[in-house]
């Protein structure tokens, strides 16, 4: 399998300048490729494809020393990214979604560039157990890197990125995973008040508290943003040193918050997979959950500020990233992952005792069944519904058919039999 490891780069002053020049060259190549596609279609109705631009790249490298200095395969990766952006644009049109045409990038918005083959333009020399080491880039020489891969493997591809004033190398390694899953089973319900609620077949309830990373940093971030707002910005003239210093402080706080969140997601997902051989959770649509409540001019929305605050809380927990990371680790460990269809099963609205359904608002934190009288915490009831559906194909566990069309990602580890 391919697994990525991200190393932090520590260039000296000369290497820093060379990296910035290389980023600028790839930025200009990317914008020129997009401009070529737009101009060809507007003037002649011609669609420029990736292979056409690769041919033009050969002529460009022969005529311009700036692009000749770039690695050829690395330049093709930049062109391929433009091609993928155009493909995604037309795919969204075909689906009737908001198209979102690819736009020209500024220097700050351009993330970086990549390399296709190890040994062609780049070479990794890791330290012991892939802990720290050196990264050699064509035209820049050896860069000190810090970081550690969980598994040893053969380097395949490399992506150089520039975020918040720091440089990173994301390297794909071809590895043989050795992760193992547990023997338990659980239904998992994600939430904002409680990050995750799990129920086990023996009746044990496990809650993972929401650390609320954004709230922890909001005072420091607000103060740093006020300082940046008071100082001279880059509108119309060169930004002052004070403004640049304040901007670095803002990005430092944001980067620290993102790192804490990512570390938390990886640690919790790893703990779950170690303990469980079957995980059942509902399919979430984060885009729909975080839609704005503003409405339109003719029909303005209600509780706009409250919904905006809820959206910030949802995005702070990164539910899509959490479920994606956990699912990938479950697949690697040969555990069973069950995607419970939300629209048909409706875990939040269904009673786990009798199967009746009743709509609830977000303010209803307790499940109270009007049919059988069952009362339970809303998240706990939803987790039970998902676990029952995964094991027996029913929200109440009364049907003998197992799984009932559940989506599996891998053969399951042995799970305890449920009476």
| pLDDT value of residue 24 | 96
Pairing of strands 276-282, 184-190: parallel
Give the start-end residues of each E strand in 239-394.
276-282, 336-340, 366-368, 375-377
Structure-block tokens of residue 189 = 């319900």
8 A C-beta contact, residue 133 and residue 147: no
> Could you give the domains of the chain?
2-174 (no CATH), 184-212+262-392 (3.30.420)
Give the start-end residues of each E strand in 26-130.
112-115, 122-126
| pLDDT value of residue 236 | 64
Work out the burial of residue 109: count CB atoms within 10 Å of its CB; fewer than 13 is exposed, 13-18 middle, 19 or more buried.
exposed
Q: Does the pLDDT of residue 395 top 80, yes or no?
A: no
Does residue 293 or residue 313 have the better pLDDT? Answer: 313
In this structure, of 133-147, 326-340, 357-371, the range with the lowest mean pLDDT score is 357-371
Q: What is the average pLDDT across 369-381? A: 90
| pLDDT value of residue 176 | 87
Q: What is the average pLDDT across 135-140? A: 93
Band of residue 239 on the pLDDT scale cut at 50, 70, 90? confident
Band of residue 221 on the pLDDT scale cut at 50, 70, 90? very high
| pLDDT value of residue 235 | 64
Band of residue 398 on the pLDDT scale cut at 50, 70, 90? low
What SS3 class is residue 337?
Answer: strand
Closest CA to 406 of 280, 320, 272: 280
In this structure, of 159-173, 267-281, 391-405, the range with the lowest mean pLDDT score is 391-405
Band of residue 413 on the pLDDT scale cut at 50, 70, 90? very low
Q: What is the average pLDDT across 138-162? A: 93
| pLDDT value of residue 416 | 35
- The span from the CA of 353 to the CA of 384, in Å, is 9
- The span from the CA of 384 to the CA of 186, in Å, is 8
- What is the torsional sign of CA 145, 150, 153, 158? negative
Q: What is the average pLDDT across 309-326? A: 91
Instruction: Give the percent of the chain with pLDDT over 70.
Output: 93
Closest CA to 79 of 111, 108, 56, 109: 56
Q: Per-residue pLDDT tens for 6-57?
A: 999 999 999 999 999 999 999 999 999 999 999 999 988 889 999 999 999 9
Closest CA to 6 of 159, 116, 115, 139: 159
Model pTM greater than 0.95? Answer: no
Q: Per-residue pLDDT tens for 93-123?
A: 999 888 899 999 999 899 999 999 999 999 9
**Residue 120's Cα: distance from chain center in Å?**
28
Closest CA to 409 of 287, 320, 280, 321: 280
8 A C-beta contact, residue 205 and residue 213: no
Q: Does the pLDDT of residue 415 top 70, yes or no?
A: no
- The span from the CA of 26 to the CA of 20, in Å, is 10
Q: What is the average pLDDT across 409-418? A: 35
- The span from the CA of 409 to the CA of 330, in Å, is 8
- The span from the CA of 54 to the CA of 117, in Å, is 17
- The span from the CA of 391 to the CA of 183, in Å, is 14
| pLDDT value of residue 362 | 81
Work out the burial of residue 328: count CB atoms within 10 Å of its CB; fewer than 13 is exposed, 13-18 middle, 19 or more buried.
middle
- The span from the CA of 110 to the CA of 29, in Å, is 11
- The span from the CA of 210 to the CA of 347, in Å, is 21
- The span from the CA of 121 to the CA of 128, in Å, is 23
| pLDDT value of residue 150 | 86
pLDDT, the chain, mean: 88
| pLDDT value of residue 82 | 96
Does residue 72 or residue 291 have the better pLDDT? Answer: 72
| pLDDT value of residue 402 | 36
What would you report as the CA-atom Rg of the chain, rounded to the nearest whole angstrom? 26
Q: What is the average pLDDT across 396-403? A: 47
8 A C-beta contact, residue 66 and residue 27: no
Cα distances (Å, whole numbers) of residue 9 to 12, 135, 147, 172, 300 = 10, 8, 9, 16, 49
Q: Per-residue pLDDT tens for 350-374?
A: 999 888 888 888 888 898 988 888 8
Q: Does the pLDDT of residue 320 top 50, yes or no?
A: yes
Band of residue 163 on the pLDDT scale cut at 50, 70, 90? confident
Q: What is the average pLDDT across 268-276? A: 94
| pLDDT value of residue 418 | 32
């Amino acid at each position: 399998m391919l697994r990525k490891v991200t190393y932090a780069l520590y260039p000296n002053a000369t290497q820093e300048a060379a990296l910035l020049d290389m980023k600028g060259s790839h930025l200009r190549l990317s914008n020129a490729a997009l401009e070529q596609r737009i101009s060809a279609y507007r003037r002649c109705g011609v669609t420029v494809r990736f292979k056409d631009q690769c041919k033009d790249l050969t002529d460009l490298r022969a005529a311009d020393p700036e692009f000749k200095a770039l690695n050829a395969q690395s330049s093709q990766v930049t062109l391929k990214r433009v091609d993928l952006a155009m493909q995604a644009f037309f795919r969204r049109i075909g689906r009737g979604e908001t198209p979102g045409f690819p736009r020209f990038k500024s220097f700050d918005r351009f993330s970086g560039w990549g390399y296709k083959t190890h040994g062609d333009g780049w070479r990794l020399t890791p330290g012991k157990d892939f802990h720290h080491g050196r990264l050699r880039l064509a035209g820049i020489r050896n860069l000190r890197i810090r970081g550690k891969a969980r598994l040893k493997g053969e380097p395949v591809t490399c992506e150089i990125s520039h975020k918040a004033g720091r440089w990173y190398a994301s390297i794909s390694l071809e590895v043989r995973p050795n992760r193992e899953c547990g023997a338990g089973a659980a239904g998992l319900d994600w939430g904002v008040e409680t990050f995750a609620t799990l129920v086990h077949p023996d009746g044990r309830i496990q809650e993972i508290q929401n650390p609320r990373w954004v709230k922890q940093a909001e005072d420091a971030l607000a103060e740093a943003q006020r300082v940046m707002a008071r100082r001279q910005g880059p509108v119309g003239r060169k930004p002052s040193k004070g403004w640049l210093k304040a901007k670095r402080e803002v990005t430092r706080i944001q980067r620290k918050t993102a790192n804490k969140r990512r570390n938390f997601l990886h640690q919790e997902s790893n703990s779950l997979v170690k303990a469980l051989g079957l995980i059942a959770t509902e399919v979430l649509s984060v885009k729909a959950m975080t839609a704005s409540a503003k409405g339109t001019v003719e029909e303005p929305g209600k509780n706009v500020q409250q919904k905006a605050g809820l959206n910030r809380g949802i995005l702070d927990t990164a539910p899509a990233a959490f479920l994606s990371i956990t699912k990938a680790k479950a697949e690697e460990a040969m555990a069973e992952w069950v995607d419970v269809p939300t629209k048909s099963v409706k875990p939040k609205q269904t009673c786990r005792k009798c199967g009746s359904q009743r709509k609830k608002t977000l303010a209803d934190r307790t499940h109270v069944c009007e049919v059988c009288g069952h009362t339970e915490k809303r998240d706990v009831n939803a987790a039970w519904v998902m676990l029952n559906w995964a094991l027996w194909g029913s929200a109440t566990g009364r049907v003998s058919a197992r799984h009932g069309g559940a989506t599996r990602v891998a053969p399951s580890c042995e799970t305890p039999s449920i009476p």
